[in-house]
Amino acid sequence: MRSLATENELVESIELPFQSSEGREIMGLAIGNPNAPMAVYINVGIHAREWIGPASVMFAIDQLLLDVIETPSLFQKTRMYITPVSNPDGYEYTWTATSTNPSPRMWRKNRRKSSEKFVE
């Protein structure tokens, strides 16, 4: 994402002011006019096992940036804020098989430690 920001003047890489429970940074992108009167927020990668969301939004960003070259007015009135992976710990965990957990692919949650108390 940082390379997108350095390659295109309409893209700004944003380091959000918090980290995941395992210390991973949560990154975002801002695309378009910083003074635009309208804003759109797209939050993706919430559920760890849903791999297609982050991949799709990165493809969509790439296509939007190609469209901006052909249609510069596309982002004059709108600023888009995109978080491609909102759950970086869970997302990373689904890609990492170990001897104790050979099949983490269907993990859905984040990796935050939880208590043994349940809400009824």
User: Structural domain boundaries of the chain?
Assistant: 2-94
Amino acid letter, 120:
E
Q: What is the pLDDT of residue 71?
A: 78
Query: What does the radius of gyration of the chain's CA atoms come to, in whole angstroms?
Result: 17
Q: What is the pLDDT of residue 114?
A: 67
Q: What is the pLDDT of residue 108?
A: 67
* DSSP string over 58-116: HHHHHHHHHHHHH-GGGGSSEEEEEES-S-HHHHHHHT---SS-S--TT--S------S
Stretch (H or E) spanning 14: strand 11-19
Stretch (H or E) spanning 4: helix 2-7
Whether the CB-CB separation of 33 and 73 falls below 8 Å is answered with no
| Residue 45: closest CA among 84, 95, 73 | 84
Q: pLDDT tens, position by position, for the chain (120 residues)?
A: 667 767 777 777 776 767 888 888 888 888 888 899 999 999 999 888 889 999 999 999 888 888 877 777 878 888 899 999 998 988 888 888 777 777 777 766 667 666 655 444
pTM, rounded to two decimals: 0.76
Q: What is the pLDDT of residue 96?
A: 85
